[in-house]
């Protein structure tokens, strides 16, 4: 059974969700681990993390250009980029 408060899903099938005051998901907790999400003042995802066990974890950072477009993400194994070029204003 799912649990919804307002328009925010709080839980379903043993997975629990938490949100900040702006409605951005900040935590997802279930049998496979805990995911965390950090947002900036522009509601852009800046960092996400996953903790699956004592030795299992992953952290990813997201980078944006001056126009708010995500241009890269860095994390865990190496670095992945969207292929876009940063813009200078």
In a 10 Å sphere around its CB, with 0-12 CB exposed, 13-18 middle and 19+ buried, how is residue 77 labelled? exposed
- Which whole number is the average pLDDT over 47-64? 89
Q: How many CA atoms within 13 Å lie on the side-chain side of 46?
A: 6
Q: Which residues lie closer than 8 Å to 78 by C-beta, 6 or more apart? A: none
Longest dimension (CA), the chain: 49
**Percent of the chain having pLDDT more than 90?**
58
pLDDT band at residue 78 using 50, 70 and 90 as cut-offs: very low
Over the stretch 39-48, which tens digit does the pLDDT of each residue have? Answer: 999 999 999 9
Q: Give the model's pLDDT for residue 42.
A: 94
pLDDT band at residue 57 using 50, 70 and 90 as cut-offs: confident
């Amino acid at each position: 059974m799912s649990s919804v408060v307002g328009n925010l899903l709080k839980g379903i099938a043993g997975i629990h969700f938490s949100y900040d005051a702006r409605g951005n998901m900040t935590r997802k907790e279930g049998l496979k681990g805990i995911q965390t999400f950090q947002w900036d003042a522009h509601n852009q995802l800046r960092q996400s993390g996953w903790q699956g066990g004592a030795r299992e974890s992953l952290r990813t950072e997201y980078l944006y250009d001056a126009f708010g477009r995500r241009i890269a993400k860095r994390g865990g194994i190496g670095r992945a980029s969207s292929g876009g070029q940063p813009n200078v204003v």
